[in-house]
């Protein structure tokens, strides 16, 4: 192409030199003008080549909004070959609606002489895929200061915008976690956010059972309910679909084409009715490193993930992990607030709540409930003589014995250092005393610790709902009073509350 241009200039030069009717001065003027054109063309080609190297789209439009020039990136964005935009207008390239919008923008720049800036927007490429663009239109002035053209620059901001939308998605989920939203709602939000970032995708979160062997739940709000139901109860194994394999191996698994992947042979009939072709799955983990489940993305296109899609997959998995960790910490805090750290029995606060519920139920069902307060006799002597480790071992052993002695609906709690409380419901009213006597007998059995054999007794006081009271604190107070009277009479015995 450059050879043709060179030849045309040489031909013109030869033609001028061959003219015998021209004066020498005229001939020189024509040759100088030809050289000037030649230099201008060379500069244009150099400028055009330089513009083609830029990652931004660059274009120039005349006052009628026709394209004078455009670099390769601008032509690629609209699916045209090199120099395919020159002479065209927006209606030919984008249709009436966008052409009217772009023409209004051009007229604003032409009339005001002020650049026009656009916020980032998502653009769909002719050959598939999307990218984020940010457009600026500048006025072009002649020597007299008149606006004669519009120069446009479209800068790709895909990476910046992708990072921004990923950050916004993270903030959205973190706010839910901070607000203590239920984990099911958080999981549903994670899938919704990811689907919003990726057009034509469906998200799902698989939750395994406590042993990490069976699919316990599937959170996939936008997928057919039958699909998730079919996965529940599935035993995890290697080479079992995409998510099953990811759970088993603990690594991301990308299935390019479900219809061709042998791991999908048993589930292909399940995916086909919904047109699912690709599945990418990434496990998320418990704090101890075991797999809690997977986050997966499904598509109707058979392909592998792009870099951004891989980032979305990783984000969904990490957010699910954070949700699980939040649940673990919350459960830990609940345990610390409600359970005794040594014996793991309910503490005083939890016991009063349990007792309040049981009294409400007993009142509705018109039945009796026994409340006993038990104090370990001379427990301080154990700590003083054998050390606190021995005292802790003794309390732990006594706690286990009392739990084993109680019925399925009974409760034992540790109220303080050496004080316990019991709710008896499994026995009838006449059997409450007999049950507590058996419990005290179990406490008296020796406890082996290190090289010592520790023997101790316990004293208990009993109050019965509704005979001795109807309120939690009233019953506890009466049971405590009965326990103190028993200690006064003689340790290691049981006394019932006597209002007299």
In angstroms, the CA 207 to CA 324 distance is 10
Nearest to residue 45, comparing CAs of 82, 96, 76?
82
Q: Are 379 and 418 in contact (CB under 8 A)?
A: yes
Share in percent of the chain as helix, strand, coil (round to 5): 50, 20, 30
* Alpha-carbon span 420 to 441, nearest angstrom: 15
- Of 483, 395, 405, the residue nearest 439 (C-alpha): 405
Model pLDDT, residue 3 = 40
Instruction: Please say whether the beta carbons of 134 and 154 come within 8 A.
Output: yes
Q: In this structure, what is the dihedral angle of CA atoms 72, 77, 78, 81, given to the nearest 10 degrees?
A: 30
Residues 6+ apart with CB under 8 A from 186: 173, 176, 177, 319, 323
- Look at 489 and 246; give whichever has higher pLDDT: 246
Per-residue pLDDT of 211-234, as tens digits, reads: 999 999 999 999 988 888 989 999
Mean model confidence pLDDT for the chain: 89
Q: Of 3-17, 291-305, 486-500, which has the strongest mean pLDDT?
A: 291-305
Select from 309, 198, 203, 304 the least CA-distant residue to 256. Answer: 304
Question: For residue 273, what is the DSSP state?
Answer: G
pLDDT 10s digits, 80-116: 887 789 899 999 998 898 899 999 999 999 999 999 9
Nearest to 375 by CA among 499, 495, 497, 500: 495
The whole-angstrom separation of Cα 133 and Cα 152 is 12
Alpha carbon 210 to its chain centroid, in Å, reads 20
pLDDT for the residue numbered 27? 78
Quick: pLDDT tens for 338-368.
999 899 999 999 999 999 999 999 999 999 9
Quick check: 38 and 9 in contact, CB under 8 A?
yes
For residue 1, the model assigns a pLDDT of 35
* pLDDT at residue number 45: 78
CB 141 within 8 A of CB 113: yes
DSSP per position, 393-451: HHHHHHHHHHHHHS-TT-EEEE-SSSEEEEEE-SS-GGGHHHHHHHHHHHHHS-EEETT
Lowest mean pLDDT among 17-26, 120-129, 482-491: 120-129
pLDDT number for residue 50: 83
């Amino acid at each position: 192409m450059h050879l043709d241009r060179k030849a045309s200039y040489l031909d013109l030069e030869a033609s001028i030199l061959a003219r015998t009717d021209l004066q020498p001065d005229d001939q020189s003027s024509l040759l100088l003008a030809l050289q000037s054109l030649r230099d201008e063309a060379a500069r244009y080609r150099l400028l055009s080549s330089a513009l083609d190297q830029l990652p931004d789209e660059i274009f120039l439009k005349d006052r009628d909004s026709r394209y004078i020039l455009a670099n390769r990136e601008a032509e690629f964005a609209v699916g045209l070959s090199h120099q395919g935009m020159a002479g065209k207008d927006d209606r030919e390239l984008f249709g009436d609606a966008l052409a009217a919008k772009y023409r209004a923008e051009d007229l604003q720049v032409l009339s005001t002489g002020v650049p026009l800036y656009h916020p980032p927007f998502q653009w769909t490429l002719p050959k598939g895929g999307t990218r984020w663009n940010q457009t600026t239109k500048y006025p072009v002035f002649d020597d007299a200061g008149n606006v004669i053209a519009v120069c446009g620059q479209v800068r790709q901001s895909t990476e910046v915008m992708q990072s921004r939308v990923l950050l916004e998605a993270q903030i959205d989920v973190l706010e839910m976690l901070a607000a203590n939203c239920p984990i099911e709602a958080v999981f549903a939000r994670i899938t919704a956010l990811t689907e919003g970032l990726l057009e034509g995708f469906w998200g799902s979160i698989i939750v395994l059972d406590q042993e990490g062997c069976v699919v316990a739940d599937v959170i996939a709000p936008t997928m057919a309910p039958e699909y998730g139901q079919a996965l529940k109860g599935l035993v995890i194994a290697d080479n079992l679909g995409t998510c099953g394999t990811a759970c088993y191996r603990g690594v991301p698994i990308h299935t390019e084409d479900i219809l061709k992947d042998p791991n999908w042979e048993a589930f292909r009939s399940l995916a086909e009715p919904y047109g699912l072709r690709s599945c990418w799955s990434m496990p998320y983990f418990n704090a101890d490193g075991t797999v809690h489940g997977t986050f997966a993305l499904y598509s109707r296109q058979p392909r592998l993930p792009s870099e951004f899609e891989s980032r979305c997959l990783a984000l969904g998995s990490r957010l699910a992990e954070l949700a699980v960790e939040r649940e673990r910490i919350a459960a830990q805090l609940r345990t610390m607030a409600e359970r005794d750290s040594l014996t793991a029995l309910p503490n005083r606060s939890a016991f009063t709540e349990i007792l309040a519920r049981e009294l409400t139920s007993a009142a509705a069902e018109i039945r009796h409930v026994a409340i006993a307060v038990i104090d370990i006799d001379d427990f301080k002597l154990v700590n003083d003589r054998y050390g606190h480790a021995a005292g802790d071992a003794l309390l732990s052993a006594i706690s286990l014995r009392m739990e084993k002695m109680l019925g399925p609906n009974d409760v034992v709690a540790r109220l303080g250092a050496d004080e316990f409380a019991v709710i008896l419901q499994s026995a009838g009213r006449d059997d409450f005393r007999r049950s507590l006597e058996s419990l005290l007998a179990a406490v008296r059995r020796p406890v082996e610790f290190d090289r010592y054999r520790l023997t101790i007794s316990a004293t208990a006081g009993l109050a019965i709902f509704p005979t001795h009271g109807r309120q939690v604190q009233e019953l506890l107070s009466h049971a405590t009073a009965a326990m103190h009277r028993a200690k006064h009479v003689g340790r290691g015995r049981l006394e019932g509350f006597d209002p007299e």
